[in-house]
Amino acid sequence: AQSVTQPDIHITVSEGASLELRCNYSYGATPYLFWYVQSPGQGLQLLLKYFSGDTLVQGIKGFEAEFKRSQSSFNLRKPSVHWSDAAEYFCAVGAGNGANNLFFGTGTRLTVIP
């Protein structure tokens, strides 16, 4: 069965520092992978997605993610964090087999300090 693990519950970085949020998935075939961001009291916004092709995916707000099949990972990165990036980040994998619901990780809360 599909599953997603986000090992870091909470990460704190200084503004301007680089960021990497980890995501590991369990899936039998080539997965559909997503990163979403959730600001407090808001819904989820899609940052980027991977279906096939180039394993380095560019998203909105300066984020990128790299799909590594050998490590079953899809880590999210940003070279320089802004205070407005403070939010909850969720990695998700598509259900597969023609189904299109998503399996989400438990999320990583990002705090940005000045």
* Dihedral (Cα; 21, 22, 28, 30), 10-degree rounding: 40
Q: Which of 80, 76, 9, 72 is nearest to 36 (CA)?
A: 76
Residue closer to another protein (CB basis): 15 or 64: 64
- Under the rule (CB under 8 A), what is the footprint of another protein? 4, 6, 32, 36, 41-46, 49, 51, 90, 92, 94-96, 98-107
Shortest separation between residue 91's beta carbon and another protein, angstroms: 9
Residue closer to another protein (CB basis): 40 or 114: 40
